Structure 1
């Protein structure tokens, strides 16, 4: 139900870029240094069974990467995706845009945490 997203994506390659600037609930402080990552639960589906409580959960997580440069956002998104792949977490890019207000580049990945 509450997968260890921070643990999975906090690899050395990601930490080199964002340090520990990874915020749960889809937000970080407005004064946070850039680049950074936010994540939030999009959906949770307990795997129900007739013989007892759910054996595991299928939790969809959205991970949003923010960076001030186009090259930087690509490097960050690739590092996050590599961390998810190494943990065998299925993932896909769902957003690739630039915020009109902050002018930050954003890549959003949706990741399927199953029983993690």
Structure 2
């Protein structure tokens, strides 16, 4: 006899918001953060008064109210250095490093 399964939308919703899923999302975000820190460039030129600030500015956080509809646990990895966007995407003079993109591809499973 074949097994039958009846999905409960409410139950799936509770699962997606559960502390267990949030903890797993944060675990994966921490892996991505670790990879990002390891591949982050450090500028050693003369204009930067705080070398290594970009590398030290990665943060991982999680919430049970994430996603487009705020109905699931999510985790994010961010960099709080004011110039992080320029390191990630580049400028007309500086090539893009895509640190978070490469870290997300490499880690998180």
- The normalised TM-score by structure 2 is 0.35
The structure with more helix, counted as a fraction of residues = 2
Larger Rg: 2
- The normalised TM-score by structure 1 is 0.34
